[in-house]
Structure 1
Amino acid sequence: MPRPSGSYSTSDLSRKSGDIIAEALRHPVTITQRNKPRLVLLNIDDYERLMRQSDARSVGTLETMPRELLDELEAAVDTYAETDEVSR
């Protein structure tokens, strides 16, 4: 059965770890167990980039929000505030 490039079994990992690690330095490699994806090997730069992107302290803050989205948010808040004042 042909295997997609960048995908290896756990048995392959035992036998060809050096080659697989060398490939993982170039691009992410999937390790399968019983024909199901179980692990991904990737280089440290890609890992650190993913971790920075998932950092809740920097993702989705007002400072990182696109200007158009911030404008929409401000307009929605203003509309809500106006509606709330009329209701009182």
Structure 2
Amino acid sequence: MADFTDTYSTSDLSRKSGDIIAQALRHPVAITQRNKPRLVLMNIEDYDRLRQRADMRMTGTIEAMPVDVLDEFAAAVEAYAQEGDGERP
């Protein structure tokens, strides 16, 4: 589990929601259920920062790959295959 300054159970969340929300406004707070991390409660600014830094790459098929990228990929695969002559540790 990631390091969190504060960790609360779901039972704590129902009993101390105001205190936990106040903590979450300052820094992310972990919520556990049956002693396992299940949720993270954080302020919207931190969430927005995470979303903006998220990897936005998309997956696709080889058929959709631009020809120049496909050629570069094929060359890299061929070079890798010849490098070890097919033997892998």
Q: TM-score with structure 1 length normalisation?
A: 0.58
Q: Tell me which stretches of 4 or more aligned residues in structure 1 moved more than 3 Å.
A: none
In the alignment, structure 1 residue 32 sits paired with structure 2 residue 32: yes
- What is the CA–CA distance in structure 1 between the aligned matches of 2:48 and 2:11, rounded to whole Å? 28
What secondary structure sits across from 2:50 in the alignment?
helix
Please give the per-residue CA displacement for 1:47-87, whole angstroms capped at 9, x wherever unaligned.
00000011516xxxxxxxxxxxxxxxxxxx8xx7xxxxxxx
CA displacement at 1:5 relative to structure 2:
4.0
- Unaligned ranges ≥5, structure 1: 58-76, 81-88
What secondary structure sits across from 2:39 in the alignment?
strand
Sequence identity, in percent?
71
Match of 1:7 in 2: 7
- Unaligned ranges ≥5, structure 2: 58-71, 76-89
Instruction: Supply the RMSD in Å over aligned alpha carbons.
Output: 1.8
- What is the CA–CA distance in structure 1 between the aligned matches of 2:34 and 2:25, rounded to whole Å? 24
In the alignment, structure 1 residue 19 sits paired with structure 2 residue 19: yes
**Count of matched residue positions in the alignment of Structure 1 and Structure 2:** 56
